[in-house]
Structure 1
Amino acid sequence: MTGPTARDLMTPDVVTVPPETPVMAMARLLSDRGISAVPVVDPAGVVLGIVTEADLIRRLAGEEDKPSSWFGALFSDPAAQAERFARTHGVTAKDLMTEKVVSVTPDTTAAHIAHMMEEQKIRRVVVQDGDKLCGIVSRADLLRALVAPPHQEVELSDERIRRAVMASMKNQPWTDTFYTMVEVKEGKVTFHGFRRSDAVQKALRVLAENIPGVKSVEDDTQPMPIFIYGAA
């Protein structure tokens, strides 16, 4: 089971605006609808860009921008200055919008979307099927993936759970399967042996809790003795 996808999480009824939409109209639209962004589309419905509440706030703040001094202008990038001026003084959606829109397909997993948002430092992605706009997934939508109940209860044997925990441990560079043993009884995972640090103790609990079928986790490990730790 791969978990929820963009299709499961997205807001499907997306409010869009044409490129000629005035700034004040977009601000009123976001306020009235309680949304934080609006895609800009052409007459065929193709996404051209997106205007966010941050863009509108930047536009408002730009009204108090002061001209750069002649000395500061010597070290500034004219192209960057021109782009900022257009975005902070523009009067329509096409002036303010961010043209580089990060998009995903309806089948993209929530985990991959979260990774994209974290990596690219964005708050939302557009869901597209080809050129067709299907919806938007925001950070708030991703939170629903964390709290949503599982589609079905996973029942695995204790031995399968134990093997899954061990396999997961072997994939992590901070674990030590030689000094840390795993016992599973009726879905309860217990770690025995030694640990190198309290951080490892916490990480082992999290690792086990992410294994399907695990009902609880108990840590019975002890701090690694100095004579063992020094020889490891």
Structure 2
Amino acid sequence: MLVQAIMTLPVITVPTCCSVAEAAQLMLDNRISGLPVVDTNGALVGIVSEGDFLRRSELNTQRNRPWLLDWLTSPGKIATEYVRTHGRRVDEVMTSPVSAIAPTASVSDAVRLMERYDIKRLPVVENGKLVGIIARSDLLRALSRALPTTSPSPDDAQIQAAIEAEFAKQSWSRNGFIHCHVSDGIAELTGTIFDERERLAAKVAAENVAGVQSVRDLLVWIDPYYGIALPPPDAEARQP
């Protein structure tokens, strides 16, 4: 899936000369948490977000360091912080430079950038001009469309084959110690695991297969150091 398929457009932007007050009101009016900042040619030069307004002199939330730490901090850093807490124009408080992505890039590339830089939105730029923006809400909408709304009803053999195929693709279950048997849409997981985190992964893999009504966990955990085996959580459910 490409970025251009899920990005938001047109994009609400602000010019560099916009005031902080106007930008804040624009975000409130449109219920958005960030605004790309563009120059007179429409080129992206920065982004201003709610995070840029957290520390403001008007709210008395500017950073106050202990005197020793303040003495050790460089005057230039303190001056920069002063501008961000007292600046009246967007270009004085915005984040710049800004990470951006092309509309023809993959959504996975966009997610990778968002995770790497811990950002909530990513401007989309083509030929130096802002053409869209992709935010976490766009990813959520794409996920909502991708998830099945109805569950088909394949037979038990098909369901079991699909679960086993998923297990075969994953490194944590490829060792063949996790087994599955499906009856009346109930996926019963048996076998052994050596890491408790594999239990939830196996249950999630089974739950994601169309037609699964429920998952019965009969996996036995064996402590890899002491060889102690603990009974599965659903062991009692197996009793007649």
TM-score (norm 2): 0.73
Q: Structure 2 counterpart of 1:204, which letter?
A: A
Correspondence list, 1:67-146, <5 A: 71-146=68-143
Q: Structure 2 counterpart of 1:40, which letter?
A: V
Residue 196 of structure 1: how far off its partner (Å): 3.6
* Gaps in structure 1 of 5+ consecutive residues: none
**Who is 1:205 aligned against?**
203
Distance in 1 (alpha carbons) for counterparts of 2:138 and 2:44: 21
Deviates most, 111-120 or 177-186: 177-186
- Structure 1 residues 65 and 184: CA distance shift in structure 2, 3 A: closer
The count of residues paired between Structure 1 and Structure 2 equals 224
Residue 24 of structure 1: how far off its partner (Å): 1.6
Instruction: State whether structure 2 residue 211 is matched by structure 1 residue 215.
Output: yes
- Structure 1 residues 189 and 104: CA distance shift in structure 2, 3 A: farther
**Who is 2:169 aligned against?**
168
Distance in 1 (alpha carbons) for counterparts of 2:35 and 2:44: 10
* Gaps in structure 2 of 5+ consecutive residues: 229-240
User: Which aligned segments of 4 or more residues in structure 1 are displaced greater than 6 angstroms?
Assistant: 66-70, 151-157, 184-188
Kindly indicate whether the alpha-carbon contact (under 8 Å) linking 2:122 and 2:134 is maintained by their aligned counterparts in 1.
yes
TM-score (norm 1): 0.75
Measured on the aligned residues, the alpha-carbon RMSD in Å equals 3.8
**Who is 1:53 aligned against?**
50
Deviates most, 86-95 or 154-163: 154-163
**Who is 1:36 aligned against?**
33
Residue 68 of structure 1: how far off its partner (Å): 6.7
Correspondence list, 1:178-197, <5 A: 178-183=176-181, 190-196=188-194
Kindly indicate whether the alpha-carbon contact (under 8 Å) linking 2:10 and 2:132 is maintained by their aligned counterparts in 1.
yes
Deviates most, 63-72 or 8-17: 63-72
CA offsets per residue over residues 134-169 of structure 1, 9 Å max, x none?
212222222222222459999999386356323323
% same residue: 29
Distance in 2 (alpha carbons) for counterparts of 1:135 and 1:208: 37
**Who is 2:235 aligned against?**
none
Counterpart secondary structure, 1:135: strand
Kindly indicate whether the alpha-carbon contact (under 8 Å) linking 1:46 and 1:132 is maintained by their aligned counterparts in 2.
yes
Q: Structure 1 counterpart of 2:113, which letter?
A: M
Distance in 2 (alpha carbons) for counterparts of 1:74 and 1:154: 64
Distance in 2 (alpha carbons) for counterparts of 1:222 and 1:119: 36
Distance in 1 (alpha carbons) for counterparts of 2:180 and 2:68: 67
Q: Structure 2 counterpart of 1:207, which letter?
A: A
**Who is 1:24 aligned against?**
21
